[in-house]
């Protein structure tokens, strides 16, 4: 290995050791911020020109140089150097090589501390917009599937035991609602991301006559950060994004778990399209639901990154500390993971095959209209608690007889309560049970149909 002879600056008497250089450099991963870094630098330079802090000639040279660098980076011709530590120094160094002394003026009134905070916010703003859009696409696919299955009956579960019959669309709408809240959380977080830190310089601001509001306008930030110390040290916009991503992934993991169960031969409610499954290297008959399993598994890394970021910030004294460099890899991975997950999930949902008959057959199995029988007795004058006790006895009787509630004869029913008449059979059917739950948020077919329409309308706005 070539021996390093370069000192960090003239303040130092020894060169940086090789291992320290490698340990402290971030260029291998923060080069991903390059386009945002250039965007921020272009706005900063324009402000310096407007405020007459640099000349028009220098500004023109800087702009030209930065645009060339952007092209080099996009064409993958830019030579990144670990000797130049991070994306910021790499670009500034190259700029000076291209345009000479003007390049050395770009950093006037700025520090890497406010620069990197700006880059991260520009990056995350783009990411959060993508996330919001991808959630919308998944919501649309969910509503499309639900629209086709308003009349499909499935066993609603509690404790993974058959509880009460529901419309399959109603079940899908539950996920639509979770995604609606996820989306709102990202939209809200965006407000706190889209504020400009630049101008804070190292931490205390700068003595140059800068115009921060002008830079904010150029970079389409809603406002400027009010406190320079906070501006360079705050990373809670990243933690918030990650926390929102964790909640989103948690929702998707629940859905994944259901897809895995539903596609197993014990349920056979659905089939996941072949393009989303893989086989086994030993068992030729296998078709494994790898995609939902991986979604479930990837929650681990997203949650892990959240813990990394929280731990990274815990107890950090103000203002900027190098610890913050560790914010990048987790957040990049979170953004990539949820972007891929949302894309793949939406496609998987659009290609699901549903077996309504199997769902309905399962709903018929588990005495799922027992609550309806209790409600029937209450409507005939019994208290609910008493009715609950009577129906528990009827269910026990049916279990012993190995028959469903709707197969119990009227005279047997009447042994349990004289209030029971032949109209009881109306409430024991799955359809009757579903139709009766017609309040807002209930599973009645018409209610679900209206909910689907309303949600679709909302998505159009």
Residues that bind ligand ARG (CB under 6 A): 26, 30, 86, 112-113, 116, 320, 322, 324-325
Can 171 be counted among the known catalytic residues? no
- Please compute, for residue 169, the number of CA atoms within 13 A of its CA located in the half-sphere on the CB side: 25
The residue assigned the tokens 């703003």 is 125
The per-residue DSSP string of 438-456 comes to -STT---HHHHHHHHHHHH
Minimum distance of ligand ARG from residue 2's CB (angstroms): 24
Output 170 or 328, the one with its CB closest to ligand ARG. 328
How far apart, in whole angstroms, are the C-alpha atoms of residue 50 and residue 43? 11
Query: Six-digit token pair at 88?
Result: 């910021």
Query: Six-digit token pair at 98?
Result: 């291209």
Q: Which helix (H) or strand (E) holds 354?
A: strand 353-354
How far apart, in whole angstroms, are the C-alpha atoms of residue 46 and residue 187? 30
**CB neighbour list of residue 236: distance below 8 Å, 6 or more residues apart:** 192, 313
Output 66 or 203, the one with its CB closest to ligand ARG. 203
Output 242 or 325, the one with its CB closest to ligand ARG. 325
Minimum distance of ligand ARG from residue 113's CB (angstroms): 5
Phi and psi at residue 161, to the nearest 5°: -110, 150
Output 85 or 372, the one with its CB closest to ligand ARG. 85
Minimum distance of ligand ARG from residue 172's CB (angstroms): 42
Output 237 or 445, the one with its CB closest to ligand ARG. 237
Which listed residue (55, 81, 223, 280) is catalytic? Answer: 280
Comparing CA positions, the residue from 337, 330, 333 lying closest to residue 306 is 330
Minimum distance of ligand ARG from residue 30's CB (angstroms): 6
DSSP secondary-structure letter at 111?
-
How far apart, in whole angstroms, are the C-alpha atoms of residue 325 and residue 88? 13
Give the distance between the most distant pair of CA atoms in the chain: 101
Q: Which helix (H) or strand (E) holds 185?
A: helix 168-193
Residues 202, 228: contact at Cβ < 8 Å?
no
Comparing CA positions, the residue from 419, 418, 382, 415 lying closest to residue 398 is 415
Minimum distance of ligand ARG from residue 112's CB (angstroms): 4
Output 111 or 142, the one with its CB closest to ligand ARG. 111
> Taking CA 123 as the corner, what is the angle to CA 122 and CA 127, rounded to the nearest 5 degrees?
120
Can 433 be counted among the known catalytic residues? no
Minimum distance of ligand ARG from residue 321's CB (angstroms): 9
Output 114 or 360, the one with its CB closest to ligand ARG. 114
Which listed residue (159, 207, 275, 281) is catalytic? Answer: 159
Minimum distance of ligand ARG from residue 13's CB (angstroms): 19
How far apart, in whole angstroms, are the C-alpha atoms of residue 167 and residue 156? 8
How far apart, in whole angstroms, are the C-alpha atoms of residue 173 and residue 168? 9
User: What residues are annotated to the active site?
Assistant: 159, 280
């Amino acid at each position: 290995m070539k021996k390093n002879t370069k000192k960090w600056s003239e303040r130092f008497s020894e060169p940086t050791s090789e291992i320290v250089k490698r340990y402290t450099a971030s260029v291998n991963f923060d080069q991903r911020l390059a386009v945002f870094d250039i965007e921020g630098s272009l706005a900063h330079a324009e402000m310096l020109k407007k405020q007459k802090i640099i000349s028009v000639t220098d500004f023109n040279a800087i702009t030209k140089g930065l645009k060339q660098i952007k092209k080099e980076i996009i064409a993958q011709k830019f030579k990144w150097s670990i000797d130049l530590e991070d994306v910021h120094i790499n670009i500034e160094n190259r700029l000076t090589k291209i345009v000479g002394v003007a390049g050395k003026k770009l950093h006037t009134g700025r520090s890497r501390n406010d620069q990197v905070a700006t880059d991260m916010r520009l990056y995350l703003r783009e990411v959060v917009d993508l996330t919001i859009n991808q959630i919308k696409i998944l919501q649309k696919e969910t509503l499309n599937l639900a629209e086709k299955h308003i009349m499909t009956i499935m066993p609603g579960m509690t404790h993974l035991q058959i509880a009460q019959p529901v419309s399959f669309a109603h079940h899908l709408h539950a996920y639509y609602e979770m995604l609606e809240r996820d989306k709102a959380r990202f939209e809200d977080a965006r407000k706190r991301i889209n504020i400009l830190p630049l101008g804070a310089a190292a931490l205390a601001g700068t003595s140059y006559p800068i115009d921060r509001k002008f830079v904010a306008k150029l970079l389409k930030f809603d406002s400027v950060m009010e406190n320079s110390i906070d501006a360079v040290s705050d990373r809670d916009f990243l933690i918030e994004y990650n926390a929102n991503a964790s909640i989103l992934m948690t929702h998707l993991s629940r859905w994944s778990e259901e897809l895995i169960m539903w596609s197993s031969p014990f349920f056979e409610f659905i089939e996941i399209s072949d393009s989303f499954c893989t086989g086994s290297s030993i068992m030729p008959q296998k078709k494994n639901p790898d995609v939902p399993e991986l979604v479930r598994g990837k929650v681990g890394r997203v949650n892990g990154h959240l813990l990394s970021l929280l731990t990274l910030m815990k107890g950090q004294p103000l203002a900027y500390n190098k610890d913050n460099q560790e914010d990048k890899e987790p957040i990049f991975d979170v953004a990539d993971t949820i972007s891929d997950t949302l894309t793949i999930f939406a496609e998987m949902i659009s290609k699901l095959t549903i077996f309504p008959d199997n769902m309905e057959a399962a709903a018929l199995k588990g005495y799922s209209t027992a609550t309806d029988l209790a409600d029937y007795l209450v409507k005939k004058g019994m208290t609910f608690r008493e009715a609950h006790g009577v129906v528990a006895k009827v269910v026990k009787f049916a279990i012993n007889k190995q028959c469903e509630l709707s197969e119990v004869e009227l005279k047997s029913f009447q042994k349990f309560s004289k209030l029971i008449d032949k109209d009881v059979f109306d409430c024991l059917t799955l359809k009757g049970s579903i139709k009766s739950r017609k309040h807002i948020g209930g599973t009645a077919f018409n209610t679900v149909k209206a909910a689907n329409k309303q949600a679709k309308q909302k998505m159009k706005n």
